[in-house]
């Protein structure tokens, strides 16, 4: 699909890829950079680099190829099914698996695993999400583990989606965070949206702010270096928990996007991924009308980090005691 537009008067000089990322909201900045490098995006009919500065009057042409139709296939990827009936399926998603296909991840996703599961079991799946997102009522980030519900019928999908929209779903997350909040319990309220400069991030620096609310409770302290917190989101914005905890000054361990490199290693403890887990999910069953809740504890990788953090805490306490003894003996 070919489009053309002219940079308007008053537009400040900026990189072509940055300008387009704000102009073309449906295409990621990295995808735009690839299109520029392939010569599919030009300025005044000239092939340029992503760093080329635009100016008023520049004529930008874009030739974006149509996406090829998807023919998703089921893949024999193990699923930890917690519950299943004719209306829905509840599973424990492992960390490291993308929920639905997208550029760069057309295979090996949770959807591929679900398609195989339903093909072999003879079950159905909701069509409301389309070919790319069959049955998906909600999602978890690639590195986030935990409980998810999948709709098997369109009726169940609509019923569950309405509960998410009305915030009647019970959701509990747990995270390991950098440092320890001063308050053991609190409420975080922020208006957040797609960052105006860093398009892959969510922040308060946005042109499309949406209210977001999270309640938090400190459950365990590991000295002053880290803490285990329980999170009760009252809204479901993209990256909400990651952004909220960063706003407190306590980003999630293993999350360099929002916390920088410091959160990826505590003393000698290497953090393998974003330490966030969807612990519990509760909802009203679409056909039975009864309340159901499913819970899964920490996965083994997060449990290993908690044990390592406890050793760090003990080591710090021992060092502090030894320091006091040395001073008192002088």
Q: What is the CATH number of the domain that holds 294?
A: 3.30.2350.10
Return the sign of the alpha-carbon dihedral for residues 231, 232, 236, 237.
negative
State the Cα–Cα distance between residues 79 and 94, nearest whole angstrom. Answer: 9
**Tokens at residue 250, please?**
């306590």
Which of 82, 159, 75, 61 shows the shortest CA–CA distance to 119?
75
Displacement of CA 329 from its chain's centroid (Å)? 52
Report the 10 Å Cβ neighbour count for 318.
Answer: 10
| Percent of the chain whose pLDDT exceeds 70 | 93
Q: Which domain CATH number covers 11?
A: 3.10.290.10
Q: Where are the beta strands (DSSP E) in the chain?
A: 2-6, 14-15, 41-43, 46-47, 53-54, 59-63, 81-84, 88-93, 145-151, 170-178, 185-194, 202-203, 210-222, 226-233, 265-266, 269-270, 276-284, 291-295
Q: Are residues 193 and 327 in the same domain?
A: yes
Q: Are residues 200 and 93 in the same domain?
A: no
Which of 137, 165, 193 is the last residue before a domain boundary?
165
Q: Are residues 221 and 307 in the same domain?
A: yes
Residue 70 confidence (pLDDT) above 70? no
pLDDT for position 319: 73
- List helix spans (H) across 240-299: 240-247, 256-259
Least confident of 7-11, 217-221, 247-251, 320-324: 320-324
Residue 28 confidence (pLDDT) above 80? no
Report the 10 Å Cβ neighbour count for 191.
Answer: 12
Q: Are residues 245 and 320 in the same domain?
A: yes
Which of 138, 165, 192 is the last residue before a domain boundary?
165
Q: Are residues 318 and 203 in the same domain?
A: yes
Q: Which residue has the higher pLDDT, 160 or 330?
A: 160
Task: Read off the pLDDT of residues 131-180 as tens digits, 9 standing for 90 and up.
Answer: 778 899 999 999 999 999 999 999 999 999 999 999 999 999 999 999 99
What DSSP string describes 50-87? TTPEE-TT-EEEEEPPPPPPP----------EEEE-SS
State the Cα–Cα distance between residues 321 and 315, nearest whole angstrom. Answer: 10
Q: Per the structure, how many domains does the chain have?
A: 3
Residue 329 confidence (pLDDT) above 60? no
Displacement of CA 260 from its chain's centroid (Å)? 16
Task: Read off the pLDDT of residues 266-284 as tens digits, 9 standing for 90 and up.
Answer: 998 999 999 999 999 999 9
Classified as helix, coil or strand, 232 is strand
Which whole-number Å values give the CA distances from 281 to 68, 183, 233, 292, in the listed order?
A: 36, 26, 11, 8
State the Cα–Cα distance between residues 47 and 55, nearest whole angstrom. Answer: 16
**Tokens at residue 163, please?**
């509960």
Catalytic (active site) residue 17: no
pTM beyond cutoff 0.85 = no
Residue 67 confidence (pLDDT) above 70? no
Q: Are residues 149 and 81 in the same domain?
A: yes
Catalytic residue selected from 17, 58, 141, 255? 141
pLDDT for position 69: 46
DSSP state of 250: -
Q: Are residues 150 and 172 in the same domain?
A: no
Q: Are residues 219 and 187 in the same domain?
A: yes
Q: Are residues 322 and 229 in the same domain?
A: yes
Which of 143, 165, 187 is the last residue before a domain boundary?
165
**Tokens at residue 87, please?**
């209306």
Q: Give the residue numbers spanning the domain of 280.
A: 167-330
Q: Are residues 243 and 330 in the same domain?
A: yes
Query: Is the separation of the CB atoms in 239 and 195 below 8 Å?
Result: no
Q: Are residues 237 and 325 in the same domain?
A: yes
């Amino acid at each position: 699909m070919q489009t053309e537009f002219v940079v308007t008067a008053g537009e400040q000089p900026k990189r072509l890829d940055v300008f387009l990322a704000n102009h073309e909201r449906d295409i990621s900045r990295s995808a735009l950079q690839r299109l520029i490098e392939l010569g599919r995006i030009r300025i005044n009919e000239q092939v340029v680099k992503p760093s080329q500065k635009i100016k008023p009057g520049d004529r930008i042409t874009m030739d974006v190829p149509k996406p090829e139709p998807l023919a998703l296939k089921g893949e024999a990827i193990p699923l930890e099914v917690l519950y299943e009936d004719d209306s829905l399926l509840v599973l424990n998603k492992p960390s490291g698996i993308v929920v639905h296909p997208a550029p760069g991840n057309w295979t090996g996703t949770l959807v591929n695993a679900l398609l195989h599961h339903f093909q072999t079991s003879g079950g159905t799946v909701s069509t409301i999400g389309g070919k790319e997102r069959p049955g998906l009522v909600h999602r978890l980030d690639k590195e986030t583990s935990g409980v998810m519900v999948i709709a098997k019928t369109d009726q169940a999908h609509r019923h569950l989606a309405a509960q998410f929209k009305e915030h009647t779903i019970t959701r509990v997350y747990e995270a390991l965070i950098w440092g320890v909040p001063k308050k053991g319990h609190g409420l975080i309220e922020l208006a957040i949206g797609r960052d105006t400069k860093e398009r892959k991030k969510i922040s308060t620096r946005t042109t499309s702010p949406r209210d977001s609310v999270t309640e938090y409770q400190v459950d365990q302290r590991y000295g002053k270096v880290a803490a285990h917190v329980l999170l009760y989101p009252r809204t479901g914005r993209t990256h909400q928990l990651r952004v909220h905890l960063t706003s407190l000054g306590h980003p999630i361990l293993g999350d360099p996007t929002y916390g920088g490199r410091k959160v990826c290693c505590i003393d000698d403890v290497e953090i393998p991924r974003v330490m966030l887990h969807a612990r519990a999910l509760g909802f009203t069953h679409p056909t039975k009308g009864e309340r159901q809740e499913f819970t899964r504890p920490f996965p083994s990788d997060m449990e290993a980090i908690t044990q390592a953090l406890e050793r760090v805490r003990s080591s710090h306490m021992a060092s502090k005691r030894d320091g006091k003894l040395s001073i008192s003996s002088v």
